[in-house]
Structure 1
Amino acid sequence: MKKTILVFGLLILALLLLFQFSKYTIISGDLRIEYILAFVALAFLGLGLLINKRTQKQAPVSNREIDLKKVEELGLSKREYEVLKEVTLGLSNQEIAEKLFVSESTIKTHVSNLFLKLNAKRRTQAIQISKSLNII
C-alpha cells in the first residue's frame, strides 16, 4: 500500500514538473505547444510501459512431464488424446472439429469415449481427472 502511494505521488510530482517545464517553454517562446504535448505524451508512455513491465508477473512454467504410459493404460487413442488436449483449451465440439478437420459428430464420439475411459461425466471433470493423472 505504501509503495502504491509512493508511486502515485511520484507520478503526480512528475506531472507537475512537466507542466512547469511546458509553462516555461511557452513563456520563453522556445518550443511550440505541439512539441510540449508530444514530449509529455512520450514521457508518460515510457513511464507507463516501465510500470507495466515491473508489475507484470510471468506465468509459472510447469516442469511436469506427461505420463505417456498412463495414456496407454487408459487406452486413449492418438486422436482421443488430441481431442482431450483441445477440450482442455476450452474449445467447443465444433471448434475442435474445424481444427482437426473432422465432423462434429466424430468429435462427440471421441468426447464420449474420453468420458467413459476417464470415468467422467462432464468436460471439467475430465480435465480435472486428466490433470491428476498427469496426462495433460
Structure 2
Amino acid sequence: MKRQVFLYGALLAAGTLALQWLDYQRLARAHSGDIFVFLIALAFLGLGITVGTRLARTRRPATFDGNPKARDALGISPRELTVLQEIAAGRSNKEIAANLNVSPNTVKTHVARLFEKLGAKRRTDAINRARELGIVS
C-alpha cells in the first residue's frame, strides 16, 4: 500500500513538473521581449546603484595642517597664528582682544607683526597671502 501511494505521488509530481515546464516554455515564448526588457532594466538598476553609492560616498576632507614649514619660515608665533585666524574669520581688533582676553593694543601689535612677516599693507592682503601659503584655510 505504501508503495502504491509513493508511486502515485511520484507520478503526480512528475506530471505537475511537466505541466509547469510547458507553461514556462509558453510564457517564455509569448513574453520573451518583456523578459529581456526586465533583465536589461535589472542590469541598469544594479549599475545605477553601484555608481550612485560610489559617487555619493562621503569623503572625509583632508585635515588642514596650516603649512608648518611656511609658518616657521616666516617666524609666525602660535599667538600670531591665532590672531591671523581671527582676522580671517572677519573679526575686528576689539572682538579679537575680547576672545583672546588681551588688550586691543596687544592685538594691534600682533597684527602689525603679521603685516611685516607676510609683506601686507592691509588685512585683506595678509589674509590672501596667508591663504596662498596655506597658513589659514
TM-score category by the smaller chain?
Answer: 0.5 to 0.7
Q: How does 1:75-94 map to 2 (within 5 A)?
A: 75-94=75-94
User: Could you tell me which amino acid in structure 2 is paired with residue 112 of structure 1?
Assistant: A
- Code of the residue aligned with 2:73 in structure 1: it is E
Runs of 4+ in 1 over 2 A off after TM superposition: 61-66
Q: Is the alpha carbon distance of 1:101 and 1:122 closer, same or farther for their aligned partners in structure 2, counting shifts above 3 Å?
A: same
Distance 1:93 1:108 in 2: 7
* 1:69 Cα deviation after fit: 1.3
Structure 1 Cα separation of the partners of residues 114 and 66 of structure 2: 17
Task: Specify every segment of 5 or more residues in structure 1 that has no aligned partner in the other structure, as ranges.
Answer: 1-60
Distance in 1 of aligned mates of 2:82 and 2:96: 9
Distance 1:88 1:62, change over 3 A: farther
Q: C-alpha offsets along residues 21-60 of structure 1, whole Å, 9 cap, x if unaligned?
A: xxxxxxxxxxxxxxxxxxxxxxxxxxxxxxxxxxxxxxxx
Q: 1:127–1:72: structure 2 CA closer, same or farther, 3 Å change rule?
A: same
How large is the Cα RMSD of the aligned pairs? Answer: 1.4
Aligned counterpart, 2:104: 104
Which residue of structure 2 aligns with residue 74 of structure 1? 74
Superposition deviation, residue 104 in structure 1: 0.1
Residue number in structure 1 paired with 2:128: 128
Tell me which residue corresponds to 1:28.
none
3-state SS of 1:83 partner: helix
Aligned residues: 76
Residue aligning to 1:10: none
**Letter of the structure 2 residue corresponding to residue 98 of structure 1:** A
Structure 1 CA distance, aligned partners of 2:65 and 2:79? Answer: 20
Aligned-partner SS, 1:81: helix
Normalising by structure 2, we get a TM-score of: 0.53
Q: Which runs of 5+ in 2 are unaligned?
A: 1-59
CA separation in 1, counterparts of 2:88 and 2:61? 15
